[in-house]
Amino acid sequence: MNAKNFPEIVADICANPYEQLKRYKAAGKNIAGYTCSYVPEELLDAFGYIPYRLLGRAQNIRQADRYLQTYCCSQIRSLLEDFINDEYIGIDAVIFAHTCDSMQSFHDIFKRNNPDIFVKNVNFPTSINNDIAFRYALAELKNFAAALEEHTGKTLDRDALVESISVYNLNRGLLDKLYALHRSYPKEIPGVTLHHTVVASMISDKRDINGILESYLGTFDENEPEDDKRKRLMLIGSINISEDIYLLADEFGAMIADDDLCTGRRYFAQQVTEPTIEGVARRYFSRPHCAAKHRGLYSREHYLTGLAGKCGIDGAIFLYLKFCDPHSFDYPDLRKGLEAKGIPSQLIEIEQSLAPSGQIRTKLQAFLEILE
């Protein structure tokens, strides 16, 4: 593989997630599908699984409607539809983590209806701001490791965990560097490559991605930054599997300079600073958190205004999945908080199960006109 072709390689993985799964299965690997970035991938990796993020791609949801009402978010309904359509054949385990009400119910429904798959939930606390919650989180991660030991018949190998953590930390560092380089070279590293690289990382053995990503990033070391005066946008939301917003931003001469997405920076932010289960748990208490977690009344606002300031953001896009309650609750106050720092914003609601409509184009175009 040639590092120069990196954008095409990750674009291809991203466009064909089921093929990636089949490739690993054909190579005799064990795959653990997971639904949330609060699932400790390092533990799965240390037990020999390839953690594979289940993002749901189904466009026409029919069969999932037998299990879930239509006022459930399209991320979950698409995911279920994909399972019913046998898109995830070969998955050896499905791992959930506690976040929102909808995912919580989905776990129960999925587990009841898939008795042959190893289904486990990491019952992570909602509070992530105190020692009592940390002790509980740690106990829960140890319970999870014990469940994996019981299921696989293997014992958690400390050296394997150290190696997994090191591989994951490298991936996180490289993704962070990619984001930074994108801001300097928005033409050479288009925004959509950030999206592709994060999603490809989520569904690949990190070892496969890290080498080529590192080589790709190395090609920029000697280059002069592009003299680019693009408007800098930041995305805020939960899951986004569509590349449209990135392509449209480019088309309109703007750039997605950073984000606070499950499928973006929230996935890779912060390193595990101690190569143990404690270290893995600690990272969740310090990394930027999902709207379904609690770290105080203003933690997300302070984090987002800080990130916006650091990246020189001109405007924020709230890219929200319809029926994603935790993020919807935060919207009016976050909008006000950003406004108070001089950062205007635009809300765009998306449905994962529907092809992107013209509204994204219209709203983004109108918003960029305001920023001019």
**Distance in Å, CB of 347 to other proteins, minimum:** 8
Residue pair 93/73 in contact by the 8 Å Cβ criterion: no
Element counts in the chain: helices (H) and strands (E)? 15, 8
Which 8-state DSSP code applies to residue 127?
Answer: B
**Distance in Å, CB of 346 to other proteins, minimum:** 12
CA distance 35 to 362: 31
Residue pair 43/277 in contact by the 8 Å Cβ criterion: yes
Mark 8-47 with x for binding to other proteins (rule: CB under 8 A) and - for no binding: ----------------------------------------
The DSSP element (H or E) to which 139 belongs, if any, is: helix 131-152
**Distance in Å, CB of 111 to other proteins, minimum:** 8
Among the residues of 3-130, which ranges form H helices? 6-15, 17-26, 41-46, 74-84, 101-113
Q: Does 140 bind other proteins (CB under 8 A)?
A: yes
Q: Does 186 bind other proteins (CB under 8 A)?
A: no
| Among 55-63, 128-136, 152-160, 303-311, the segment contacting other proteins (CB under 8 A) | 128-136
Mark 80-119 with x for binding to other proteins (rule: CB under 8 A) and - for no binding: ----------------x-xxxxx-xxxxxx--xx------
CA distance 235 to 367: 13
Per DSSP, what are the bridge partners of residue 255? 232
Of 133 and 148, the one with the shorter C-beta distance to other proteins is 133
R_g over Cα of the chain: 20
| Among 12-20, 167-175, 320-328, 352-360, the segment contacting other proteins (CB under 8 A) | 320-328
**Distance in Å, CB of 371 to other proteins, minimum:** 20
Q: List % helix, strand, coil for the chain (3-state, nearest 5).
A: 55, 15, 35
**Distance in Å, CB of 331 to other proteins, minimum:** 6
Mark 251-290 with x for binding to other proteins (rule: CB under 8 A) and - for no binding: ----------------------------------------
Task: Choose which of 150, 325, 344, 357 interacts with other proteins (CB under 8 A).
Answer: 325
CA distance 52 to 49: 9
Q: Does 297 bind other proteins (CB under 8 A)?
A: yes
Per DSSP, what are the bridge partners of residue 233? 256, 315
Task: Choose which of 6, 49, 52, 67 interacts with other proteins (CB under 8 A).
Answer: 67
Q: Residue 249 contacts by C-beta under 8 Å, 6 or more apart in sequence?
A: 191, 233, 255, 256, 364
Residues that bind other proteins (CB under 8 A): 66-69, 71-72, 96, 98-102, 104-109, 112-113, 121, 123, 125-127, 130, 132-133, 135-136, 139-140, 143, 291-292, 294, 297-298, 322-323, 325-326, 328-333, 335, 347
